[in-house]
Amino acid sequence: MHYPKDLEHLISYYAKLPGIGEKSAERLAIATMEFKDEEIKEFSEVLINAKKNLVRCSICGHITDNEICDICRDESRNKNIICVVEDYKNVFAFEKSGKFNGTYHVLNGLISPIDDIGPDDINLNSLVTRVSSLDKPELILALKPTIEGEATTLYIKKILENEKVTISRLAYGIPIGAEIDYLDNVTLEKALEDRKKISD
Amino acid sequence: MHYPKDLEHLISYYAKLPGIGEKSAERLAIATMEFKDEEIKEFSEVLINAKKNLVRCSICGHITDNEICDICRDESRNKNIICVVEDYKNVFAFEKSGKFNGTYHVLNGLISPIDDIGPDDINLNSLVTRVSSLDKPELILALKPTIEGEATTLYIKKILENEKVTISRLAYGIPIGAEIDYLDNVTLEKALEDRKKISD
């Protein structure tokens, strides 16, 4: 199939996006050609701006278009509860649930000796400073249950040993709606380990 | 859910694309943020360029980045067979099938009295000029079987009455792979009408 060069080029950019195959990319590129000139111009500008204007919040490391993100600036949020996450996408996931009223700390990575990522390569130092500035804070580690997640969890526990801080991690267990038959062994094992008493 | 303003803006652009809902648009926008700076810059430029550089082929009306499109310039294609289509997306569809070796004529619309679109509003005059410059050309009308498609087909037949030209239209019928039980009445009726003799 032979598209004009510029269209081909646009298709290749759409095809870089996750979940967009060659056929969808073609469909999107052709649909883009139906946009009005001003719309194309704005789309093009907003791409540049989104990437350029979004910086890291100087407190928590979340992406923001200000020096301090909306969440850290929000007076109604509990600054003493910090949910530690791997990246800013996790923040969006929690915010969508609407069930968390604390703040976040975005590590922007996990400790991974195999990939040569050590504690200094991720946003950990500022977490220590932050925790020590607070009065009896609570830290919720919301890191994925992989080797890297566990390593990071252990490391955070260790560096905060001497601080007055409550640390918990998210519960592991059966996801809501799942069929127990189809769960993997590790999840079942964790669900058993973390079982919750419901009567005495 | 509260995204930074620029990200929100980018999401709204992705959401304009066909088949991209709010959730997918969010996912695409966030994924775009992972692009490298140069990639974003190029993506942004290619959007502008694709729209700006693509013009209409002066012969057939297909989109092209030249004055004359690749298909019209291709020496190996049969210039005497012209497939008349509603828009350039149809050309891509035919080209993908790889089964047509003639050229195209893109009307860029269909006659539609209801929408106040007359013969002069679509790319019809150049079709007449083109046909009269050829020696016994063949015209294949590949217009959709709607009122507008039929009106355009009839009109083309009429204006070419005095030309030496063979005109056919695409066969109507059962799409390959379809269950006859689920076909609409009109398709069934057309398939019956256009039935093809397979033995004498």
The total of structural domains in chain B comes to 2
Q: Minimal Cα distance from B52: which residue of A?
A: A37
CA distance B148 to chain A (A): 21
**Is A118 in the same domain as A184?**
no
* Contact list, B103 vs chain A (CB under 8 Å): none
ipTM: 0.71
Mean pLDDT of B43-51: 92
* Contact list, B32 vs chain A (CB under 8 Å): 17, 47, 50-51
Domain contains B91: yes
**Global pTM value:** 0.71
CA distances to A57, A105, A156, B152 from A139, rounded to whole Å, are: 18, 9, 10, 69
Q: Minimal Cα distance from A43: which residue of B?
A: B13
On average, the pLDDT of chain A sits at: 90
Domain contains B184: no
**Is B59 in the same domain as B77?**
yes
Q: Domain limits at B90?
A: 55-169
d(CA B16, CA B194): 40
d(CA A46, CA B39): 14
* Contact list, B40 vs chain A (CB under 8 Å): 47-48, 51
Q: How do beta strands A138-141 and A166-169 pair?
A: parallel
Domain contains B80: yes
Domain contains A59: no
Check residue A75 and give its pLDDT. Answer: 94
d(CA B116, CA B123): 15
CA distance A118 to chain B (A): 21
Please check the confidence at residue B87 and state whether its pLDDT lies above 80. yes
* Contact list, A13 vs chain B (CB under 8 Å): 39, 42-43, 46
Q: How do beta strands A63-64 and A166-169 pair?
A: unpaired
- Write phi, then psi, for B123 (nearest 5 degrees): -80, 65
Domain contains B178: no
Check residue A111 and give its pLDDT. Answer: 95
**Is B37 in the same domain as B100?**
no
Q: What is the pLDDT along chain A (200 residues), one digit of tens a residue?
A: 678 888 999 999 999 999 999 889 999 999 998 899 999 999 999 999 988 888 999 999 999 988 999 999 999 999 999 999 999 988 988 888 888 899 999 999 999 989 999 999 999 999 999 999 999 899 999 988 889 998 999 999 999 988 889 999 888 888 888 887 888 888 888 888 888 777 66
**Is B59 in the same domain as B151?**
yes
Check residue A68 and give its pLDDT. Answer: 94
**Is A84 in the same domain as A161?**
yes
Check residue B187 and give its pLDDT. Answer: 83
CA distance A159 to chain B (A): 30
On average, the pLDDT of chain B sits at: 90
**Is B63 in the same domain as B33?**
no
